[in-house]
Structure formats: structure tokens, C-alpha cells
Amino acid sequence: MKKNHKFMVAAVVIIIAIGYLVFIGIKESGVYFMTVAELKARPDSQAEDGVRISGSVIEDSIEYVNDKMLLTFKAKDEESDDNDYVNVMYKGVKPDSFKADAQVILEGKYSIDENLFRATTLLVKCPSRYEEETPPPDYNLKEHKKIIVDGA
């Protein structure tokens, strides 16, 4: 029995060590995760290293400067109206699936004075979720060809 105790103590020490690692990890890299509206309501709640937000991309607000790799757009909560938005600035490559109405997850810092979110990471939620009842009308190929670079 005594021997078993010894092993128990060793196991507990290891478990505490792992628990401590997890605790420190959360403390150091945990950030608040909120919606755009929540962020605007409580801009002070972001930690030193920023905050993570989810929102949807407002149509016609997307601008991308190719050679500077600078993406700017407006994001809002899916259900709130278009005026309740934040400006987002992201430097980096624009992901393929990024488009109007896309659901994005952003990490970065928010400045309330400029209503500007400087994002350091930009994730687009996988667009494979289409659960609508009806399939869309057949797609117009002519429209499509405009998207592809002409000539070249």
C-alpha cells in the first residue's frame, strides 16, 4: 500500500504540472471572443493583446489594394442592421473564400475613436454550409466569365 501511495504522489505531481501548464496557457493566450455589437458596447474588455470577434462582411464595403496587400471592409453581426458596423483593416493575402456576407473570425485590436479594428488574423468560415431548402436558379455562365481575367 505504501508503494502505491508513492506512485499516487508522483501521478498527482504530474497532473498538477499539466494543470499548471494549461492554466498559464489560458492566462497568456486567452482572448475575449465577442460579436461586433458586444465589442462596440464594451470596447474596454479587450485584453492587452487584443480580442477575437466574429461578424459578417457587409456588401460593397470590400476594398483590396493588391500590391500593398491591404484589405479593408466593414463587418457587422449577421442579424443587426448595416449601420452597426466596425471598419476592419487587414494586411495580408485575401483568402479565397472571402466575399460579401461571408462569416469571418478576426483577431486584433479595436480602437473605439476610429471605430477601426486592426486585424492580425482573418479566418473565413468554411462556406460548405448551405442548408437552404431550394437549390438556386441555374447559374449564368456569361456573368461568370466577367470574373475571370479577360485576355491574358
Partner 1 sequence: MLIDIGRISLNITLVLAVYVAVSSLTGALKKDLRFVVSARRGIYAIFCLISVSSAALLYAFITDNFALKYVASYSEKNLNIHYKISAFWGGNDGSLLFWLFALSLFAALMAFQNRKDKNHRFIPFAYTVLMIIMIFFLVLTSFVTNPFELLPPYMVPADGRGLNPMLQTYGMMFHPPALLLGYVGFSIPFAFAVAALITGELDSLWIKRTRKWTLLAWVLLGLGNILGSEWAYDELGWGGYWAWDPVENASFIPWLTATAYLHSVMIQERRNMLKVWNMFLIIITFSFTIFGTFLVRSGVLQSVHDFGVSEMGPYFVIFMALTAIIAFGLMLYRYEDLRSGNNQLESFISRESTFLLNNLILLGLAFATLWGSMFPLISELVTGNKITVGPPFFEQVNTPLFLILLIITGICPLIGWRKASSQNLKKNFIIPTIFLVITGVLLLALGIRHIYATLSFSFSSFVLVTIIMEYYRGIKARGKIKGENPFTALFMLLWKNKRRYGGYIIHVGVVMIFIGVTGSQAFVTETAQSLRIGESMNVGKFRLQYDDVKIKRKPNYEAVVVFLSVYEAGRKIDTILPEKRWYNKFPEEPTSEVALMRSLKEDLFVILASIERSGTIMVKGIINPLINWIWLGAIVSCIGGIYVLLPDGGKKKVKS
Binding residues for partner 1 restricted to 83-102, rule: CB under 8 A: 92-97, 99
DSSP 113: T
Cα–Cα distances in angstroms (integers) from residue 15 to residues 6, 7, 21, 36, 150, in the given order: 14, 12, 10, 38, 62
Angle at 51 between CA 56 and CA 106, to 5 degrees: 35
Q: Does 63 bind partner 1 (CB under 8 A)?
A: no
Interface with partner 1, residue 149, by CB under 8 A: yes
Distance CA 132, CA 14 (A): 50
- Told to check if 16 binds partner 1 by CB under 8 A, we report no
Binding residues for partner 1 (CB under 8 A): 3-4, 6-7, 10-11, 14-15, 18, 21-22, 24-26, 28-34, 45, 52, 54, 64, 66-67, 69, 92-97, 99, 105, 107, 121, 123-131, 134-136, 138-139, 141, 143-145, 147-150, 152
